[in-house]
Amino acid sequence: MDELSSWDCSELPEAYLKNLLRTDNLPRDLDDFYDLIIRRVQPLETRVDMFVILKWVLVSARPMTVDELVDACATLPLEGMRFDEGKRRACQGFAKRLEGLVKVRTMSDGHVVSLDAAPVQASQTSVEGDVVSFAHFSVKEYLLRMTPLGWFRTVFD
Contact 53, 59 (CB under 8 A): no
pLDDT of residue 22: 66
- Cα–Cα distance, 137 to 134 (Å, whole number): 7
Phi, psi of 153 (to 5 degrees): -65, -40
pLDDT of residue 139: 94
Instruction: Identify the bridge partners of residue 75 per DSSP, sorted by sequence position.
Output: 83
Answer whether 0.75 is exceeded by the pTM.
Answer: no
The continuous run of DSSP H or E covering 50 comes out as: helix 44-59
Contact 113, 122 (CB under 8 A): yes
pLDDT of residue 122: 42
The continuous run of DSSP H or E covering 130 comes out as: strand 129-134
Residue 129, phi-psi category: left (phi > 0), alpha (psi -120 to 50), beta (remainder)? left
pLDDT average per 10 residues of sequence, the chain (157 residues): 53 65 75 89 88 91 90 83 82 89 80 45 59 93 84 73
pLDDT of residue 44: 87
Domain chopping of the chain, boundaries: 26-107+123-156
pLDDT of residue 71: 92
